[in-house]
Amino acid sequence: MSSSRPYKLAIIFLDTDKHVSPFEPLAVVDIFPDAFILTYSNVDVEDVKKIVQDAMFPRGPKGVRYTKIFVGGSDVVKVNRIVEVIKQTMFPPFEIAVLVDPRGNNTTAAAAVAKALQLLIKHGYGDLKDKKVTILAGTGPVGFACGVLSALEGAYVTITSRVLERAQDVAQRVNKEVGVERARGVKAASPEEFGKAIEEADVVIATGAPGVRLLTLDVLKQYGKNVKVVVDVNAVPPTGIEGLEPGDEDKEVIPGVYGVGALRVGVLKNSILVELFKKLAETPKGILDYRAAYEVAKTLISKK
């Protein structure tokens, strides 16, 4: 966008939480110091139509192209419903480009899968196509998005949970999102169950809650004969994968198994967010979700 543009960039932040997270507004301050930023907290689904309508019309069909929406917050289900309402409310030529990253989940998942891809390529194992990817504790929003992105890359995905039905439910949602049967759900709570879940895996991504150790070195050594790459997104001790610290980058965790820790995933995640906001500014319409985040992630890792 040239600096001589007649319209100023405006970004409306809709957050489902009591307080708007300062994370994303602060992330754009230095990219677009002249942007007009408007924040709404505690946003409910029924609030959205009016806010969006009021954002669509005042700048006219040309000006609306410079108005953008970011949707965030901890309540992922509500965020998805808000995005649906935004889509239903807009119509040509009054469309607004929307970036969705509830609590950083989409950018984190994109960074985790991209890091796995980067290590596979670096160590001569090719890309994710037909690889087996096990997502430990993959029933949260980060695990779900990792499952979708891995499946979209042509991988076979195993999602684990402490409860079989939860794992199967998320696997089904992944399959529905991707449109092919690529994911399955398995129960993993004991070391043996985690072992079985990684037995055939080429890649293991740990997406458990903060401070939950999921995979020990003993289990990795005993069962992970095919594992080449491990990625952890939990930065809170103990980390999700034993032997993998948050700052580790391409660490040989055990012979032949290379890993990336949560802080290194986080560095890529932050770069993805910055690039996504730049993309948002250039994009006249459409929804930028975890797919867009992953496209940006792949471009970023290819430059390294």
Q: Are 106 and 100 in contact (CB under 8 A)?
A: yes
CB of 103 to ligand NAP, least distance (A): 5
Shortest distance (Å) from residue 128 CB to ligand NAP: 20
How crowded is residue 19: how many other Cβ atoms within 10 Å of its Cβ?
Answer: 9
Of the pair 143, 224, the CB lying nearest ligand NAP is at: 143
Can you give 85-147 as a three-state secondary structure string?
HHHHHCCCCCCCEEEECHHHHHHHHHHHHHHHHHHHHHCCCCCCCCCEEEEECCCCHHHHHHH
Q: Is 210 in the site for ligand NAP (CB under 6 A)?
A: yes
Q: What is the separation of C-alpha 127 from the centre of its chain, rounded to a whole number of angstroms?
A: 19
Residue-wise burial string across 271-297, b where 16 or more C-beta atoms lie within 10 A, e elsewhere: bbbbbbbebbbebeeebbbbbbbbbbb
In whole angstroms, the minimum distance from the beta carbon of 61 to ligand NAP comes to 36
Q: Nearest CA to 177 among 99, 84, 290?
A: 290
Distance, CA of 245 to CA of 143 (rounded, Å): 19
**74-113: which residues touch ligand NAP (CB under 6 A)?**
103-105, 108
By the rule CB under 6 A, 142 interacts with ligand NAP: yes
| CA proximity to 273, closest of 109, 147, 140 | 109
Among 141, 195, 224, 243, binds ligand NAP (CB under 6 A): 141
266 lies in the site for ligand NAP, by CB under 6 A:
yes
Question: Between residues 107 and 118, which has the closer beta carbon with respect to ligand NAP?
Answer: 107
User: Is 269 a residue that touches ligand NAP (CB under 6 A)?
Assistant: yes
What is the spatial order of strands in the sheet that 229-232 belongs to? 183-187, 156-161, 132-136, 203-206, 229-232, 257-260, 251-254
Task: Kindly tell me which of 67 and 106 has the beta carbon lying closer to ligand NAP.
Answer: 106
208 binds ligand NAP (CB under 6 A): yes
Minimum CB separation of residue 251 from ligand NAP in Å reads 18
Q: Number of residues interacting with ligand NAP: please give it, by CB under 6 A.
A: 23
- Name the residue with the smallest CB distance to ligand NAP: 140
Whichever of 51 and 235 has its CB closer to ligand NAP, that residue is 235
Least distance to ligand NAP, CB of residue 282, Å:
24
221 CB-near residues (< 8 Å, 6+ apart): 254
Q: Does 213 bind ligand NAP (CB under 6 A)?
A: no
Beta-strand relationship, 203-206 and 229-232: parallel
Q: Does 207 bind ligand NAP (CB under 6 A)?
A: yes
Residue from 121, 164, 212, 267 binding ligand NAP (CB under 6 A): 212
Query: Would you give the binding string for ligand NAP spanning residues 159-188, x where CB under 6 A is met?
Result: --xxx--x----------------------
Q: Which residues would be at the binding site for ligand NAP (CB under 6 A)? A: 103-105, 108, 137, 139-143, 161-163, 166, 207-210, 212, 233-234, 266, 269
